[in-house]
């Protein structure tokens, strides 16, 4: 199944919502430290409710360790600086979608590791900055899952 990577997330309810998303879709969640909150944060628990036990959540001390854990899989940077759109990209079963911090996105040095065709953008109206992180992750995972025929859904 797909994987969501959150690079140094800052807002606990966003991560909690994404834990819930992963539990309900079967996607893995990879958290790259440092996190901007404690994993036991009240806001994280409230948003993720009791879904933690149903989601596969992996923690990585840094970006290099995360990439090592995902070796052999296709990685896509989800960014407002993307050149290709998610909806015009053919997604494969084990693809990985990497999201940056809520306030600043992916750092330039990490974004530079992705070739242009692996930098995906969600469509938005002109003049808008970005979508909320958990909304962007949900749109991305559901489009990827749709392309796979919602395999595993009831």
Average pLDDT, integer, range 34-57: 73
CATH number of 3-147: 3.40.1280.10
Sole residue written with tokens 């009240």: 42
pLDDT band at 44 (very low <50, low <70, confident <90, very high): low
8 A C-beta contact, residue 119 and residue 79: yes
Per-residue model confidence as pLDDT tens digits over 46-81: 655 567 778 999 999 999 999 999 999 999 999 999
- Cα gap 3→56, rounded to integer Å: 10
Q: Quick check: helix, strand or coil at residue 119?
A: strand
- Cα gap 11→135, rounded to integer Å: 13
Tokens of 133: 């992180």
Among 26-35, 64-73, 110-119, 123-132, the minimum mean pLDDT is found in 123-132
């Amino acid at each position: 199944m797909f994987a969501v990577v959150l690079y140094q997330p800052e807002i606990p309810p966003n991560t909690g919502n994404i834990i819930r998303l992963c539990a309900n879709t079967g996607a893995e969640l990879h958290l790259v430290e440092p996190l901007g909150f404690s994993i036991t944060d009240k806001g994280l628990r409230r948003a993720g409710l009791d879904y933690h036990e149903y989601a596969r959540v992996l923690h990585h001390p840094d970006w290099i360790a995360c990439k090592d854990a995902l070796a052999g899989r296709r990685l896509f940077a989800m960014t407002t600086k993307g050149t290709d759109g998610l909806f015009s990209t053919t997604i494969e079963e084990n693809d990985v979608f990497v999201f940056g911090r809520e306030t600043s996105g992916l750092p330039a040095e990490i974004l530079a590791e992705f070739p242009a065709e692996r930098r995906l953008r969600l469509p938005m109206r002109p003049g808008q900055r970005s979508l909320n992180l958990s909304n962007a992750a949900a749109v991305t995972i559901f489009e990827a899952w749709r392309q796979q025929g919602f395999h595993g859904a009831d």
